[in-house]
Amino acid sequence: MKKNMGSADRIIRGIIAAALITLYVTGVLKGIPGLVLIVLSVIFLFTSLVSFCPLYLPFGLNTLRKKLGDKASKTHAT
């Protein structure tokens, strides 16, 4: 599994997950919609912890910044 999520993406997902969990615990979100959003927040937390989002693959998305050393080594390898 190659990482494809940057720091900002991971932080945003964590904040959204924390907000959804808080809304569910306080009773603002209830029933089936609340449970669906809790499952979504668990997925957000998991993907932010492993820095990998499987939905990014089909679209070719990558929010991970490339390191300066990686770019320099690729240009010298040619």
Q: Within a domain: residue 36?
A: yes
Number of domains in the chain: 1
Claim: this prediction has a pTM higher than 0.85: no
User: How far is residue 1's CA from residue 10's CA, in Å, rounded to a whole number?
Assistant: 16
Q: Within a domain: residue 24?
A: yes
Q: Within a domain: residue 58?
A: yes
Q: Within a domain: residue 2?
A: no
Integer CA distances (angstroms), 69 to 6, 58, 65, 66, in order:
17, 27, 12, 8
User: What domain range is 64 assigned to?
Assistant: 7-76
User: How far is residue 47's CA from residue 65's CA, in Å, rounded to a whole number?
Assistant: 17
One pLDDT digit (tens) per residue for the chain, 78 residues: 889 999 999 999 999 999 999 999 999 999 999 999 999 999 999 999 999 999 999 999 999 888 776 655 455 555
